[in-house]
Amino acid sequence: MKKKSKRMWIITGCLIPIVAIAVIFMNNNGSATGAAAEQNAQIAVVERGDTQVVKEGNGTVEVKDSYQVSIIYDSKLLFIEKENGDYVNEGEVIASIESSGLEDSISQLESEISDLDTQISNKDSYGDSYISSKVTGRVKVINAGAGDAVNSVMKEYGSLMEIASDGKLKVMVSAETVLAENSEVTVKFGDYSEEGTVISSENNQLTVTISDGYDYNVGEKASVYDSEDKLLGEGTLEINMPYHVTGDYGTIDSISIDLNDKVYDGSTLLYLENVKNYPGYTDLIDKRNLKIEELWDLKEYRRTQAITAPVSGIISNMTATAGMTVLKDSEFCDILDNSIYQLKAEIDELDIDGVKEGQTAKVVFDAFEDEEYEGVVSKVSNIGNNTNGVTTYTVFIELEGTDRIKSNMSATAKIVTATSEQTLLVPIDAIQTVDGKKMVSVVTGSGKNQTSEMKEVTLGLVNNTQAEVIAGLEEGQTVTVISTKTTDTDIGTQMDSLRNANQGNQAQAETN
């Protein structure tokens, strides 16, 4: 069946009666003449009701996920049980095979697993119960405390402690005076005054070092003076060459040193508990698990002498034929998981606004138009596809698979992007644009006493058949509806005008 065009769908929608309409053919004398024969005037009662904005797109479905079936061991294909397009259950045979040398590979794996077991039994599964210093210096920063998880402290601070590994602190100041490297200066902080040495002077910045001391704390404000006691600048004390004490696992049981304590290479800094997941131990466990999985696969391969389906689905991308030799790790086929399908619907650029992830979509397939399926918008592409001057955007809609749905079927999706309940509604053909304003013709009286008056209205939601009136009309009033012999382009232009003029109102309605 040939699919109706978008513009034809709009024309049909405009002719669907939405509110009670009384047909009256009229001119000033109450009868149709001249051009009025081509333009039928009707009246409609302004009534309250529910309306919604629906965005529509067409596309084809395909399975969302697929699984690759690879060859476990070099084999010769004896007989192929399934072909592309066939459905296969998990564990079902796809092809029968013949493999030589399989026993040797199984024996080799079993030997490797045995060696790993020996290494694991000799490995301390808990690792070291303490962390020691690798340098000599003073501990100037302690980020950890008893009860802290080591990995949490590392994530927040980048280290458990910091040690001044060269026995020096530094202060960096902005100074207009340029001093040569190794020049002597004075650094004053708190109640202390220390001789300092300039180690660099560039870009109006001096870096000065002093000898570390027990009472000297990093982060303390410091001032630098030249040999004539002239203030060069101010900064803060920092570790000149910090050694970062790190760790990976466990909980800190206790800290054996205090801030500013002198430590040496080998000094114990922290005692730990619950030091599980010791890297050397877990690496061996992980390696053994991989070997076990490989051994299990080979033994199952030996038992069945077949390539079996790891999941249920549809066979695809199979190119091998009976009698071929296939190599280990080569791709044999794909299995398409038909439990979840994905519709890629193309939606016009004029309609894509308002379409978002998580919205519900009603999906109808061309093959069975009387059935409706429910899906959910999973993604909206930000890149448009321009074809013959028309730009569309791909909207991905996920829906559950059934036996009737097949890959590459054509379907139409309708997505409700906005709704309004019990608001004033008029037919879309009652709206006229006059000097950029939205107007309706309000009818009063009847017969020879019938008159009409143009009134400006404020619109809310607008779809292909109805317009929501926010202001300008009252319930029970009657308005003129013009049904004109127009082209698809005329209808499209009218809809585009209404949509653009009221985009702000629709956005506000969705927000509210």
- Residue 452 DSSP class: E
What's residue 126's pLDDT?
Answer: 62
**How confident is the model over 129-156, as a mean pLDDT?**
93
The closest of 342, 400, 336, 406 to 373, measured between CA atoms, is: 400
Which position has the higher pLDDT, 138 or 465? 138
Label residue 40 by pLDDT band (50, 70, 90).
low
**Average of pLDDT values for 505-509?**
47
Do 363 and 399 touch, CB atoms closer than 8 A? Answer: yes
What is the sign, positive or negative, of the torsion defined by CA atoms of 278, 280, 286, 288? negative
Model confidence at 19: pLDDT above 80: no
Average pLDDT of the chain, as a whole number: 84
> Of residues 48 and 39, which shows the higher confidence score?
48
- State yes or no: pLDDT of 508 exceeds 60: no
Beta strands 306-308 and 75-80 are unpaired
Instruction: Specify the pLDDT at position 308.
Output: 93
Close Cβ partners of 298 (under 8 Å, ≥ 6 residues apart): 72, 73, 102, 105, 106, 109
* Mean pLDDT of the 418-437 span: 90
Window from 39-48, 170-179, 206-215, 272-281 with minimum mean pLDDT: 272-281
Nearest to 439 by CA among 489, 474, 479, 496: 479
Residue 312's CB is within 10 A of a number of other CB atoms, namely 16
Q: Check residues 97 and 42 and name the one with the higher pLDDT.
A: 97
The model's confidence at residue 16, banded by pLDDT at 50, 70 and 90, is very low
pLDDT at 22: 40
Name the band, by pLDDT with cuts 50, 70 and 90, for residue 28: very low
Residue 206, SS3 per DSSP: strand
**pLDDT reading at 82 higher than 90:** yes
252 touches 148 (CB < 8 A): yes
What was the pLDDT predicted at 496?
52
Q: Identify residue 425 by its one-letter amino acid code.
A: L
pLDDT of 177: 82
Q: How far apart are the first and last CA of the chain?
A: 41
359-368, 463-472, 495-504: which has the minimum mean pLDDT? 495-504
- Cα 323 to Cα 80, 320, 326, 397, 437: the distances in Å are 9, 9, 10, 42, 77
Looking at residues 455-484, what average pLDDT do you find?
Answer: 87
Task: Report whether pLDDT(395) > 90.
Answer: yes
* CA 183/CA 173 separation, integer angstroms: 15
Structure tokens, 279:
């890297």
- 472-476, Cβ contacts within 8 angstroms, sequence gap of 24 or more: 472/440, 473/46, 473/424, 473/426, 473/440, 473/442, 474/46, 474/424, 475/46, 475/47, 475/48, 475/424, 476/45, 476/46, 476/47
- b or e along 342-380 (b: 16 or more beta carbons within 10 Å of the residue's beta carbon)? bbbbbbeebbbebbeeebebbbebeeeeeeebebebbee
Looking at residue 33, what is its pLDDT?
Answer: 33
Residue 3 has pLDDT above 50, yes or no: no
Cβ 14 vs Cβ 465: under 8 Å: yes
CA distances from 392 to 24, 278, 348, 374 (A): 41, 54, 4, 22
Contact at 8 Å (CB) between 377 and 359?
A: yes
325-326: strand order across its sheet? 306-308, 93-98, 75-80, 325-326
Query: HSE on the CB side for 428, CA within 13 Å?
Result: 25
Average the pLDDT over each of 14-28, 52-66, 185-199 and give the range with the smallest value.
14-28
User: Measured between alpha carbons, how far is 88 from 94 in angstroms, rounded to an integer?
Assistant: 8
Which residues are CB-neighbours of 16 under 8 A, at least 6 positions away? 465
* 417 confidence band (pLDDT: 50, 70, 90): confident
- Which of 415, 412, 302, 306 is CA-nearest to residue 356? 415
pLDDT range class, residue 34, cuts 50, 70, 90: very low
Strand partners, 415: 55, 361
Tokens of 147: 């009860």
Segment 60-75, tens digit of pLDDT: 999 999 999 999 899 9
**Span of 264-278, 361-375, 389-403 with lowest mean pLDDT:** 264-278
The closest of 305, 299, 255, 310 to 131, measured between CA atoms, is 255
Asked if 328 and 73 count as a contact pair (C-beta separation under 8 A), the reply is yes
Contact 177, 232 (CB under 8 A): yes
Contacts of 383 (CB under 8 A, 6+ apart): 393
The per-residue pLDDT for 487 is: 41
Secondary structure letter of residue 86 according to DSSP: -
Structure confidence at residue 418 as a pLDDT band (50, 70, 90): confident
pLDDT of residue 121: 81
pLDDT > 60? residue 6: no
φ, ψ for residue 7, nearest 5 deg: -65, -40
| Residue 100 binned pLDDT confidence (cut-offs 50, 70, 90) | confident
| pLDDT-derived band at 124, boundaries 50, 70, 90 | low
Q: Which domains does the chain have, with CATH numbers?
A: 6-53+420-511 (2.40.420.20), 56-62+337-419 (2.40.30.170), 78-96+306-329 (no CATH)
Of the given ranges (115-124, 157-166, 198-207, 327-336), which has the lowest mean pLDDT? Answer: 115-124
What is the arithmetic mean of pLDDT over 389-395?
A: 94
- Residues 308-336: tens digit of each pLDDT: 999 999 999 999 999 999 999 999 999 99
What is the per-residue pLDDT for 15? Answer: 31
Q: Which single residue is written with the structure tokens 């965005």? A: 55
Residue 457, token pair as written in the block: 């209205």
Q: Residue range 494-507: average pLDDT?
A: 49
Percent of the chain scored above 70 by pLDDT?
Answer: 84
Question: Quick one: average pLDDT of 438-450?
Answer: 87
d(CA 275, CA 128): 7
Give the C-alpha separation, 54 to 173, whole Å: 65
pLDDT at 276: 65
Ranking 153-167, 367-381, 451-465, 496-510 by mean pLDDT, the lowest is 496-510
Q: Bridge partners of 453? A: 442
CA angle, residues 372, 377, 381, in degrees to nearest 5 = 130
Predicted confidence (pLDDT) at residue 495 exceeds the cutoff of 70: no
Q: Is pLDDT at 127 greater than 80 in this prediction?
A: no
Q: How far apart are CA 88 and CA 226, in angstroms?
A: 85
Question: Which tens digit of pLDDT belongs to each residue from 222-277?
Answer: 999 999 999 999 999 999 999 999 988 889 999 999 999 999 999 999 999 877 65
